[in-house]
Every structure is written in structure tokens, then in C-alpha cells.
Amino acid sequence: MSLWLLVPAAYLLGSVSSAVIVSRLMGLPDPREQGSKNPGATNVLRLGGKKAAIITLLGDALKGLIPVLIAVSLGVSAEILAAVGLAAFLGHLYPVFFGFKGGKGVATALGVLGGFSWTIGLAVLGTWLVVAWLSRISSLAALVAAALAPAYVWALVGSPALVGVTVVMSVLLIWRHQDNIRRILKGEESRIGQKKS
């Protein structure tokens, strides 16, 4: 039963906002107040450049990856593993330390999926990279990767619990991108590296 303590611990780790912390340490504007007002790596890239964005991206991915890897090392069931991954993801979306106003969860979801299986992580990351390279639109790449993620989990792992939690994360991630979807359809979405007007 104590293994279930991994779930709240994962949520608390997920609640640590890499974007806000990196921005404060590097003297950058608060990403929740400027640019797209999303505390994520893409907005940090617009506001502070590549170095700050890379650190933010790694921080967000690690807070999804680490709790899942810890759970895997303890030999937990697929159900607990799924719950740990979802908790870390929800921590990023609704961080207790930052007024429950978090990011969209792309990097954290990638970390969680990479913890489930490195092959899943590579498949999702590869999808993001290809779409981002072709379109130069980060949000579109995230949406395509999120839509395909459950299929990757099913094909590469096949665990119903992990497939189910991946569906939940994908739906939440797509829902958090509603404004991006509207701008994509209007041809108004910002390109990677483009300053937000």
C-alpha cells in the first residue's frame, strides 16, 4: 500500500514549474505574464532564447521521467505505474505551488512516456521532431504526437492501464491546446523561434 505514496510524490514533483524557476534564475520575464502566457519551453524560447528553453524543456521532461523510473525500479504494477505517470503530468498542468496554473504538458508527457518505455519516448519525440521540422509549428507537432501516442503505447507495450492513461494525457494535452488549434486553422499560429506579438 505504501507504494501508492509514489502518486502524491509524483504530483508534487510535477508541480515544480521549470519555466518559472528558470526564468527567475536567469532574470527573464515571467512566462505566465508575457508571450503566450504559457509556462513552457516554447514560450521561454520566445522570451529568453535557446539556453533557457533547453533547460526548461529538460526540467519539464525529467519531472515526468524520474517518478516513473523510480516506480519501475520498485517493480510496481502497471496500474500504479500509470497512476504515477498521470500524477506527474497533472502536477505540471495544475501545480499546487503555482496556484494550479501550469503549462500544457508536452515535455512532461514525453518524460512520462519515456519512463514507460524508451522506445515509446523515441517514437513520440521522433514524431514531434518530424512535424516541427516540416511545419515549424511547435503546437502542431505536439498535437500530432499526442494523437499518435496511445497507438505507440499499444503497439510497443500493450498494457491496457498504460494505454488508458496515455489516452487521458493525450486528451488533456489536446484540450489545453484549444487556442493553438484555432490559430492553426486561421494560419495565425507562431512559428518556432518567432517572437510573440
Hey, which bits of 35-129 come out as E strands?
none
Q: What is the pLDDT of residues 52-100, one digit of tens each?
A: 889 999 999 999 999 999 999 999 999 999 999 999 999 999 999 888 8
- Which amino acid, residue 190? S
Task: Kindly list the domain boundaries of the chain, sorted by start residue.
Answer: 2-186
Q: Give whole-number Cα distances, 139 to 42, 174, 176, in Å.
A: 9, 9, 10
Residue 150: which residues within 8 A CB-CB, separation 6 or more? 163, 166, 167, 170
Q: What is the pLDDT of residues 102-157, one digit of tens each?
A: 889 999 999 999 999 999 999 999 999 999 999 999 889 999 999 999 999 999 99
pTM above threshold 0.75: yes
